[in-house]
Every structure is written in structure tokens, then in C-alpha cells.
């Protein structure tokens, strides 16, 4: 018989607070058109994007995360010292080590929590949320800070007509804590590694060891392949998450998909047959694709504008490079 004592965690976990930070600079499509042969109408029709936010030199991955985290902590009504773990999803923190999570934990006054980064692209927030739920239920942390943050303007090739208009910068954060009732459903997640080349970094970091000039890495993607995959496969994953939570489409109040593309969002709404009463996040129009930050940023805006309210049942789904995905049903804070 094992001599290890059982963990003493909470019965369930829930999102207790949410916060977001968008850089102050707003970049309209006209700026993008300075470097690519396109039009505002083409960009809007292809993606639904009119503007995006780009970070200044001072709006670093760490600085944006600290701002978003402070709002989430205040919204949750806890003290930073109560945070037992900090999980950061990002692909645009350029140091392989140490994790940016440790710096953020220190800057927000969290004491000595577990702190680590994860790389799961646009599904990163869902991955982090699932890890946080496990920590709360297992008992290794009472409260977990989950952050999705990107400075994708650093990884955007402004001469690439397929991607120059897509990406934006920002940070979104949530506090996950204990709950007496189920408030974060089972996660349906996974990967399709045979499609890993459809979204990728153009140049590996180790290329810069070589004694030759090399263009700085950028994010590239096979747009049509990614669009087809997202539209046809991710609706199935979203439905699996609904089924796992025992929720029917008509039981939903809110749908918060990864803000990749308006056409993808509209197609998923149609495929899932969501009723008209379901509020759908369409933050992509003014924020662009912020990868791991897109879901918490969209969540915060819906709550702040009154389009969603505390206690609403929401389906969230992220998907992106890898190709990876994660979907779950949550109760909004």
C-alpha cells in the first residue's frame, strides 16, 4: 500500500477574474497597405480585420502581462501573494530560458509561486487553463494565474501578403481558483503533427549561429489549408467539448473562439448551429489575431461591455500552430 498521502485540493475549479491589455498604438489597414499590394476591402473580406494593436518598445511581453495580470487579480479579489502558480503561454518571448513567467511572478508580487512558460500557439490559453484546473483540484495551488501574451508584430513579415495584416499584440490573463460546483468543463485537446508545416517560423533560432546574413524569423502559414482545417475540424472539436460538459448549443450563453479570422468564426457558428441568443466574440475586427492572448482578451471585452455577464456559460476554443487545439466549456467570472 502506498504511504503517500492523498492530495487535498478543491472539488472543482473556476475562473475568478479576467484582465486584458491592448497596446496604445492602433494600426489601421492603411498602414499594412504601405508594404503589400492589397486593399482595405480585400483584407476585411478575407479576415474581418479593420485594425490591430502594435506594441511600443516599452510594451514588452512582461510589461503587458503585468498590466493584464493586475486587472485579473483585482477582478478576482485576491492578493498576489495567494497565487501558487503562474502559467504563461507565448511564442514571442525570445529567450529560451529563463521563462518569462518567473519575471512576471516577481513583478506582480506573487512571492515564490511555481512559474513556467508553455508553447501551444493559439491554443495556449486553453492548455494553460487546463493545467491550472488540474493544480487547483490536485491541491498544489489555491490560485493560478494563466496568461496569454504575444508581441506578434515582432514576428510579422510586413511584405508577406498572406500574413502581414493578420497579427496583433496584447495580453490576457485570468485567475483560476477553487469552486464548490463545476465551472470549467472537461477539455478536448490534441494535435495533428502531420500539419505542423502549415503555420511555422520561417527561420530557426540556431540559424543565427552560422556566419552568414539571415532574415529575421517571421511567422508564415498556408492560409487555405489552415482555413479548411479550422472550419471543418474545429467545429467537431467544439461539439466534443459541449458533449463532454453535457451542454447543448441552446444551453450556451456565449461563444469565444480564437480570434483568428472572422470567416472562420462565422463558419463555426453556422456549423455548430448556435442559436441567435448566443453572444459570439468578434474581437478580431479591432484587435487582430493575438494568438494565445485572443480568448482572454475577447472574454474581458465581452464582460466589460456588458455583452456577457458573470455566471454565463461559455464555450471557448483555441487552435493554431502545431497544429494544436483545446476546447472547453466554462462559467464566466
Per-residue pLDDT tens digits for 178-229: 999 999 999 999 999 988 888 888 888 877 776 666 778 888 888 888 888 9
Among left, alpha and beta (phi > 0; psi -120 to 50; other), residue 28 is: beta
d(CA 122, CA 89): 9
Q: Which residue bears the cell 556566419?
A: 211
3-state secondary structure string across 92-151: CCCCCCCCHHHHHHHHCCCCCCEEEEECCHHHHHHHHHHHHHHHHHHCCCCEEEEEEEEE
Q: Are 254 and 332 in contact (CB under 8 A)?
A: yes
pLDDT confidence of residue 201 = 84
* Residues with active-site annotation: 122, 258, 289
pLDDT confidence of residue 43 = 96
Give the model confidence (pLDDT) of 25-77 as tens digits: 999 999 999 999 999 999 999 999 999 999 999 999 999 999 999 999 999 99
**φ, ψ dihedrals at 91, nearest 5°:** -120, 5
Q: How confident is the model at residue 289 (pLDDT cuts 50, 70, 90)?
A: very high
- How far is the first Cα of the chain from the last one, in angstroms, to the nearest whole number? 41
pTM as predicted: 0.94
pLDDT confidence of residue 210 = 66
Q: Are 79 and 316 in contact (CB under 8 A)?
A: no
| Alpha-carbon distance values, 288 to 84, 196, 283, 312, 317 (Å) | 32, 22, 8, 25, 17
Please give the residue that has the higher pLDDT: either 2 or 171. 171
Cell of 324: 494544436
Amino acid at each position: 500500500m502506498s504511504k503517500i498521502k492523498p492530495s487535498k485540493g478543491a472539488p472543482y475549479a473556476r475562473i475568478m477574474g479576467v484582465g486584458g491589455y491592448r497596446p496604445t498604438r492602433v494600426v489601421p489597414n492603411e498602414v499594412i497597405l504601405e508594404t503589400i499590394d492589397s486593399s482595405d476591402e480585400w483584407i476585411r473580406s478575407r479576415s474581418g480585420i479593420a485594425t490591430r494593436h502594435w506594441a511600443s518598445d516599452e510594451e514588452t511581453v512582461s510589461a503587458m502581462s503585468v498590466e493584464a495580470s493586475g486587472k485579473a487579480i483585482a477582478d478576482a479579489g485576491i492578493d498576489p501573494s495567494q497565487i501558487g502558480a503562474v502559467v504563461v503561454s507565448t511564442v514571442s518571448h525570445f529567450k529560451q530560458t529563463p521563462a518569462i513567467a518567473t519575471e512576471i511572478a516577481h513583478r506582480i508580487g506573487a512571492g515564490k509561486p511555481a512559474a513556467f512558460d508553455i508553447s501551444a500557439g493559439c491554443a495556449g490559453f486553453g492548455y494553460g487553463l487546463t493545467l491550472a484546473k488540474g493544480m487547483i483540484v490536485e491541491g498544489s495551488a489555491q490560485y493560478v494565474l494563466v496568461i496569454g501574451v504575444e508581441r506578434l508584430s515582432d514576428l510579422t513579415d510586413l511584405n508577406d501578403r498572406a500574413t502581414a495584416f493578420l497579427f496583433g499584440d496584447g495580453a490576457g490573463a485570468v485567475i483560476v481558483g477553487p469552486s464548490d460546483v463545476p465551472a470549467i468543463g472537461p477539455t478536448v485537446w490534441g494535435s495533428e503533427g502531420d500539419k505542423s508545416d502549415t503555420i511555422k517560423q520561417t527561420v530557426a533560432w540556431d540559424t543565427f549561429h552560422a556566419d552568414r546574413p539571415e532574415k529575421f524569423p517571421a511567422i508564415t502559414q498556408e492560409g487555405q489549408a489552415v482555413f479548411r482545417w479550422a472550419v471543418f475540424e474545429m467545429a467537431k472539436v467544439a461539439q466534443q467539448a459541449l458533449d463532454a460538459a453535457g451542454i447543448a448549443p441552446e444551453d450556451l450563453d456565449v461563444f469565444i473562439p480564437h480570434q483568428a479570422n472572422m470567416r472562420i468564426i462565422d463558419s463555426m457558428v453556422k456549423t455548430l448551429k448556435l442559436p441567435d441568443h448566443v453572444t459570439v466574440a468578434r474581437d478580431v475586427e479591432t484587435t487582430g489575431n493575438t494568438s494565445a492572448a485572443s480568448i482572454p482578451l475577447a472574454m474581458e471585452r465581452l464582460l466589460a461591455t456588458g455583452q456577457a455577464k458573470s455566471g454565463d456559460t461559455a464555450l471557448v476554443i483555441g487552435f493554431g500552430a502545431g497544429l494544436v487545439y483545446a476546447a472547453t466549456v466554462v462559467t464566466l467570472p
